[in-house]
Amino acid sequence: MSENTLEKLIATLKSEAIEAADNEAVNIVESAHAQAKKIIKEAEAKREELLGNAEKEAQATLIKGEGALKQAARDLTVSVRNDLLQLLKTVLEKEVEAQFTPKLMEQAITNTIANVGSGVTLTLSKNVETELAKTVQKQLQAMDNLDSIITDPSLLKGFSITKTDQGWSYQISPNAVAELLNAHLSPKWVNLLKNDLDT
């Protein structure tokens, strides 16, 4: 074999090897590009899925937070309303207590007994001034409606009127009057507060 033929053979082998290597390189690059595109596409799909899930979770958290906030606002409204009603009741009790003077008691006793008729027993609290008891007794004796006046240590303030023949008795005290007023005022106050707090 001649040197020339050997060189041609070597050149042909080199050329074929380079061409095969180039083809292999092109295949590797194309495969790498295809693999990279696939990875990018999968990553984008995963990113979209994660973003969608995050958005759904954020929306659910927002809705849950709004619900909790609305419930807290309702709870606060009820609490404030109850506190205001309790405050109004306390103020009413103090005002009635302050107005429940011996003069008022004298008027209430004489007016009540005058309207009830005869056969009445008047019970006064032990701390009622003797002067009030004497004044009331003088006025009532003139009306001829009163059977007796007694004192009751368990009656803290106020008086009680009993009509024995009819079997009824009413206690009139600052607490009883305040409770009665509060019972009748409460629904109106609740409606007023409800309307004010709802606007």
What's the pLDDT score for residue 87?
Answer: 83
| Segment 191-196 long-range contacts (CB within 8 Å, at least 24 positions apart) | 193/81, 193/84, 193/85, 194/81
What's the pLDDT score for residue 108?
Answer: 80
What's the pLDDT score for residue 137?
Answer: 66
Residues recorded for the chain: 199
CA nearest to 81, candidates 175, 3, 186: 186
CA distance 9 to 12: 5
Burial class (CB in 10 A: 0-12, 13-18, 19+), 190: middle
What's the pLDDT score for residue 174?
Answer: 81
Confidence of residue 158 (pLDDT cuts 50, 70, 90): confident
Query: Token pair of 16, please?
Result: 């074929």
CA distance 182 to 176: 10
* Whole-number percent of the chain with pLDDT over 70: 80
What's the pLDDT score for residue 189?
Answer: 67
pTM score of the predicted model? 0.50
Q: Where are the alpha helices (DSSP H) in the chain?
A: 3-99, 102-116, 130-143, 174-198
Q: For the segment 46-84, what is each residue's pLDDT rounded down to a tens digit?
A: 988 888 898 999 899 989 989 999 999 888 888 887 888
Q: For the segment 145-154, what is each residue's pLDDT rounded down to a tens digit?
A: 666 677 777 7
Q: For the segment 105-141, what is each residue's pLDDT rounded down to a tens digit?
A: 778 877 877 777 777 787 777 766 566 666 766 666 6
Name 102's Cβ contacts closer than 8 Å, sequence gap at least 6. Answer: 128, 129, 131, 132
Whether the per-residue pLDDT at 199 is higher than 60: the answer is: no
Whether the per-residue pLDDT at 186 is higher than 70: the answer is: no
Handedness of CA 135, 141, 143, 146 (dihedral sign): positive
